Amino acid sequence: MQKCICGKQHKSRGKINDCVGKIIKGCSVIRNVYAAIIRWDGKSDHTPKLQSVAVINSFKDCLDKEYVDFDRKGRGSALNHDLYGYDPIQGVAVIQSRNAFRARENDFMNTHKTYFLCGYNENTNKPFRHPISAAAVRGAIRSGADSVGVVKAAQCWMWGVTEKQLEASVRQGDLLLVPERGEPHGDYMGQIMTLARSHEVHASAIRKNGRIYARNPQLIHVKGQHAPVEIHGWASVRVARDVTAWDFAARIGD
C-alpha cells in the first residue's frame, strides 16, 4: 500500500497516478515568475487544489536531499527543487535542481541548475533521473504548454521526434521505437544488437544508416527493469540523449 497525494492509501504507483490524473484534470496550472509550477487550481472552490510541493515529494527518491547551510556571514550553499512539468499518466515529472552558493562574505550568490525528467522504472520501481535541455523546457513553457506538454517537449527533445511521432512510438526506458514509412537503406547489421549497454534489439533485420533501423523489432532489457516492447514493420531505434549535469542532478537509473 502506498500513500497518494490525495491522502489515501493505494495498492500501486499506477493507482496513485490514476488518482492524481483525476485530481488535476481540467485544472489550470499556476506558475511563478520563474515559470515553475506552484499549484493547480480547479474551476470552482470545491475542486481540490494540488500543490507542486506534494508532487515533488512524490519523486523524493529521484532527488538529492534538499538543504540550507549558510554561516552568519552568508557563506555556504543550499539545494532545492522546483517543478516545471508533470504527467500523472506516465508517472514522470520535469524538475529543476538548483544549487545556490556563496564562497566569501559580501560575494554575489552563484547558482548551478540542471533540469531533468524523473520517475520510477516499471518493473523494479527504482528511481531514474535523466538530465534534459533547459532550452526545450523553457521553449515549451513560452509556447503555452501545460504541465503535460512540458513533459512531452522534454521527451521529444530526448529522442529527436515530433509530438506526433512520440504518440505513435513505444518506449522502453531510455530507448524509443519510432515507426518509419517504407524500407530504409543501410548496412545490414544482423538480427540482434545491444544498445545503451542493456537493451537488446531482436528483429528480422537490422540496418544502420546514421540511425539504427529494425524490421519487426522487439526490445528486451537484459537487467529486467522494463517489460519487452515491440512494433510491427520498420522502426528506428533511438537512444535518448541527455545533457551534462551537475553532480547533485547527475543521471541515475536506466
For residue 168, what is the enclosing H or E element?
Answer: helix 163-168
Residue 227: pLDDT band (50, 70, 90) is confident
Average pLDDT for the chain: 91
pLDDT above 70 (res 2): no
pLDDT above 90 (res 76): yes
Residue 223 or 109, more confident: 109
Set of cell numbers at residue 216: 519487426
Burial of 106-124, coded b for 16+ CB within 10 Å and e otherwise, reads: eeeeeebebbbbbbbbbee
Segment 143-163 mean pLDDT: 96
pLDDT above 70 (res 88): yes
Residue 14: pLDDT band (50, 70, 90) is confident
- pLDDT (0 to 100) of residue 145: 94
Nearest CA to 239 among 183, 185, 178, 184? 178
- pLDDT (0 to 100) of residue 66: 97
Domain boundaries, the chain: 14-161, 171-239
pLDDT above 60 (res 1): no
14-21 contacts at long range (C-beta below 8 A, 24 or more positions apart): 14/91, 16/58, 16/91, 17/88, 17/89, 17/90, 17/91, 18/88, 18/89, 20/50, 20/55, 20/88, 21/88, 21/89
For residue 187, what is the enclosing H or E element?
Answer: strand 187-195
Segment 9-16 mean pLDDT: 74
Residue 18 or 161, more confident: 161
Contact 83, 141 (CB under 8 A): no
Contact 208, 184 (CB under 8 A): no
110-131 confidence digits (pLDDT tens): 999 999 999 998 778 899 999 9
Write phi, then psi, for 244 (nearest 5 degrees).
-70, 130
